[in-house]
């Protein structure tokens, strides 16, 4: 498995971000939300991912940056759930939507559950049992 988050995978295109908010669909697993849009990216990447933490919930940039780092890390470690089960290229925006300060472990579990919920709705291949076992622990 490739546990990296290279620059090519980062969502930076204003056009693609605009498409996510106008035509995108979303999946939620409290306190996380994943907004996605199916469509080819300009550079041929299968997944483009961006993260966001609301300034309304965390006034200090230090706190927002901490949760953005946690979201990127949980994505990086669990992106195989998405890449193994997707046939088409997708763009994603990953949101942390609460004032609650959850621990890294709690956010990681919620990320796995969120990705599996997304795959159950949109994926073409069967889920592996190992992903479900991680959630139960």
Q: Is residue 88 part of a domain?
A: yes
pLDDT value for 128: 44
Q: Are 94 and 51 in contact (CB under 8 A)?
A: yes
Q: Are 19 and 39 in contact (CB under 8 A)?
A: yes
Q: Is residue 2 part of a domain?
A: no
**Which domain range does residue 50 map to?**
7-136
CA 13, 46, 110, 108 dihedral sign is negative
- Going by pLDDT thresholds of 50, 70 and 90, the confidence category of residue 126 is very low
In tens, the pLDDT along 63-110 reads 999 999 999 999 999 999 998 998 889 999 999 999 999 999 999 999
Check residues 123 and 38 and name the one with the higher pLDDT: 38
Q: Is residue 104 part of a domain?
A: yes
pLDDT value for 133: 54
The total of structural domains in the chain comes to 1
Q: Is residue 1 part of a domain?
A: no
* Residue 31: CATH number of its domain: 3.30.230.10
pLDDT value for 86: 87
């Amino acid at each position: 498995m490739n546990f990296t988050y290279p620059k090519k995978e980062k969502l930076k295109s204003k056009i693609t971000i605009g498409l996510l908010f106008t035509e995108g669909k979303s999946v939620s697993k409290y306190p996380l939300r994943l907004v996605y849009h199916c469509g080819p990216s300009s550079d041929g990447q299968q997944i483009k991912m961006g993260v966001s933490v609301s300034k309304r919930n965390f006034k200090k940039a230090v706190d927002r940056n901490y949760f953005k780092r946690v979201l990127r890390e949980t994505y990086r470690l669990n992106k195989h759930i998405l890449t193994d089960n997707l046939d088409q290229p997708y763009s994603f925006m990953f949101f942390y939507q609460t004032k609650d300060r959850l621990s890294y472990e709690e956010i990681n579990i919620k990320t796995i559950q969120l990705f599996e919920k997304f795959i159950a709705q949109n994926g073409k291949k069967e889920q592996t049992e190992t992903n479900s076992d991680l959630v139960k622990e």
